[in-house]
Amino acid sequence: MNDTPSASPAPQAAPGRWRRFACMMYEAILLFGVVFVADYLFDTLTQSRHALMLRHERQAWLFCVIGVYFVLCWRLGGQTLPMKTWHIRLIDADGGRPPVWKAVLRYVLAWPFTLTGLGFVWTFFDRDRQFPHDRIVGTRLVSTR
C-alpha cells in the first residue's frame, strides 16, 4: 500500500444550490447583527441623529465592515459561521485558503452578481456550479461533507 499523498488531489464537489441558498439566508441573519453593531458604532462616533445623515459615509463604512468580516473569515478559516454550519468551504486553486487579495477581490466582485441575482443563476450554466466571481478570481466553493 502506498502511503505517500498523490500529486494532485481529487477535485472536491461543489455544494448543492439549496444548501448554498440556505447558507446565504443564514449569512443574512448573521450580517444583520454585524451591521447593527457597526451602524451603532458609526452613529456614536459621528453623533448622527438619523440614517440619512452622512448617508454615503455610512454606506462606505458598512461596505468596509462587511468586507472585513468576510475577508477575515475566508482567509483565517476558509469559512464563515454559516459556511461551517452548512459544510461549505472557500478554497483557492491549490486547495488551500485564498490569499488576502483574492478574498478582497471576491468580496468586491460578489456584490453586483449577488444584488442582481445573476450569480445564483450562473451556477445553472457553469460546468462546476461555481459563482461567476469565483471563476474570475480563481476560487471555488466546495462541500466539506
pLDDT tens per residue, range 72-131? 999 999 999 999 999 999 999 999 999 999 999 999 999 999 999 899 899 999 999 999
As beta bridge partners, residue 143 has 88
Q: Under 8 Å CB-to-CB from 124, ≥6 apart: which residues? A: 17
Rounded CA gap, 12 and 87, in Å? 12
Per cent of the chain over pLDDT 90 is: 86
Which helix (H) or strand (E) segment holds residue 143: the answer is strand 139-143
